[in-house]
Amino acid sequence: MELYKTNSIKLYNSLSKSKEEFKPIEDGMVGMYVCGPTVYSNVHLGNVRTFMSFDMIYRYFLHLGYKVRYVRNITDAGHLTDDDSEDKISTKARLEKLEPMEIVQKYTVDFHETLQKFNFLPPSIEPTATGHIVEQIEAIKTILENGLAYESNGSVYFDVLKYNGNGGDYGVLSKRVMDDAISNTRELDGQSEKKNPQDFALWKKASPEHIMRWPSPWGVGFPGWHLECSVMSTKYLGETFDIHGGGMDLKFPHHECEIAQSKACNHSNPVNYWLHTNMLTLNGQKMAKSTGNNILPGEIISGNNNILKKAFSASVTRFFCMQAHYRSILDFSSDALEASEKGFIKLMEAVNTLKKIEASDTSTLDINNWKEKCYAAMNDDFNTPILIAHLFEGVKFVNLLKEGKATLSASDLELLSETMNIFVFDVLGLENSASSENNGGEDKLSGVVEMMITMRKNARDNKDWALSDQIRDELLALGIQLKDGKDGTTFSIN
């Protein structure tokens, strides 16, 4: 806690659209809820970037000495929009000829395995929507008793106009006025059941073919998408808690509806600080499952894709994501990852070199000032790109020490090494080359294949076509396919 007392943290609060000094509700304890995945398909890198940002935030709070209760849910009831009766999980179950909960299990396992590859810390609690159906039904009863919802043909809807007429503030987070909310409401199944177009579902009546269904006082059905997060966040973090996070696309309507539901139940503002991550783009467009404009993390690590020139390790990919602020749009490309890889290697080389530097009697570098700049960057709304810039200033220090152009006392050398390790490994969550070997040895494999590509090029230059073909064919037999192009030869691992 000592670091926090001397370094106040400024957070950008989406509710007020301003930076505010973070003050936890409970001294020494932070409550943070992040909207997790709907488990009907593999998570793509855009999804991973959002969770990675909150993993970094979680890590920093832990480093500062806070006890953090980090709740990240699993949406395993696939109702995704207010009124659309399509259940993504049930649809995928039919396509893959599996039971819905087999789909849930399959893609929950994939989610966990993917995050493990990228060195995520597990959350404190990971509740599921289907595990809290009873609590969701009880919340609906409370909202009905408070007169802010109504039943219609076996479904229950939140009455937005009545909520706002009773002093509510639907639109407070996204800053949308009611006319905008109405104009952006689609004509969907169940729309005729509503009193007003902007009302949203708390409970939906299940059609005969709907597989995932539960009994309720209003008939057999399933909960609306927004309700689960209101219920699970307040159950584990209290009626008002510190931080609620998620992707920027969730600000409206999902988080807007969460605020309204929670206030309708508990008569209190549920969250003090709303944090939203921005998009990861590919080909200038947002990564999305629905459009197919995405890349899976496994495809990056294996190199088996049509976007990248080579494979990249999980740590290089994580370093790439950390080079942009969590609220900034980040564009994904092969060139950007190659640049990140070069920077990552320099950073790791400096960390490893520090272990071999010998202390001197005097210091010619101001390590305390540099350390304070690193903390100042993180205390300014978790500004990782500025932090990384300061870390590369630390790399310059290491090179000066290595070349004998600067000296550090034993205490300053220890401080430099300790601070580099804290921010590189504990906060940014990167892994050193030795740790990366446990992640499949991607870097070493890439190096060997690049060497074979060079040997093949030399053979071709010498018109030794037999050796050239032998190298290509033997790599292919190992599952490594070479691709010759105008910019040279690249490879993918099948």
Backbone φ and ψ for 276, nearest 5 degrees, come out as: -130, 130
Q: What's the whole-number mean pLDDT along residues 145-149?
A: 98
Backbone φ and ψ for 485, nearest 5 degrees, come out as: -145, 180
Q: 155-158 and 29-34 as β-strands: parallel, antiparallel, unpaired?
A: unpaired
pLDDT, tens digit, 9 for 90 and up, residues 204-239: 999 888 888 999 999 999 999 899 999 999 999 999
Please tell me the predicted confidence (pLDDT) of residue 7: 66
Q: 480-485 and 488-493 as β-strands: parallel, antiparallel, unpaired?
A: antiparallel
Q: Is the dihedral of CA 379, 382, 385, 388 positive or negative?
A: positive
Please tell me the predicted confidence (pLDDT) of residue 442: 54
Q: What's the whole-number mean pLDDT along residues 347-356?
A: 95
- Split at pLDDT 50, 70, 90, the class of 255 is very high
* Residue where the block lists tokens 């309708």: 264
User: Residue 266 burial (CB < 10 Å; 0-12/13-18/19+)?
Assistant: middle
Position 1 pLDDT exceeds 80: no
Which tokens go with 441? 């040895």
| 21 DSSP β-pair partners | 10
- The 8-class DSSP code of residue 97 comes to T
pLDDT, tens digit, 9 for 90 and up, residues 149-180: 999 999 999 999 999 999 999 999 998 876 55
Q: Report the range of poorest mean pLDDT among 13-22, 269-278, 341-350, 454-463.
A: 454-463
Please tell me the predicted confidence (pLDDT) of residue 80: 47
Indicate the residue type of 363: S
Please tell me the predicted confidence (pLDDT) of residue 102: 95
Position 382 pLDDT exceeds 70: yes
Any idea of the CA torsion for 164, 224, 133, 123, to the nearest 10 degrees? -90
- Split at pLDDT 50, 70, 90, the class of 486 is low
Please tell me the predicted confidence (pLDDT) of residue 494: 60
Sheet of strand 29-34, all strands in order from the earlier edge strand to the far edge: 67-72, 29-34, 241-247, 271-277
Position 192 pLDDT exceeds 90: no
- Split at pLDDT 50, 70, 90, the class of 116 is very high
Please tell me the predicted confidence (pLDDT) of residue 288: 82
Please tell me the predicted confidence (pLDDT) of residue 117: 96
Domains of the chain: 2-277 (3.40.50.620), 324-438 (1.20.120.640), 441-493 (no CATH)
Q: Report the range of poorest mean pLDDT among 51-65, 328-342, 396-410, 430-444.
A: 430-444
Position 438 pLDDT exceeds 50: no
pLDDT, tens digit, 9 for 90 and up, residues 286-329: 888 778 788 999 999 999 998 999 999 999 999 999 999 999 99
pLDDT, tens digit, 9 for 90 and up, residues 439-482: 445 556 777 888 888 889 888 888 899 898 889 888 888 878 88
The mean pLDDT of the chain is 90
DSSP 164-189: HHTT--TTTTTT--HHHHHHT----T
Position 85 pLDDT exceeds 80: no
Report the alpha-carbon distance of residue 182 to residue 196 in Å, rounded: 9
Q: Rounded to a whole number, what is the distance in angstroms from the first to the last CA of the chain? A: 48
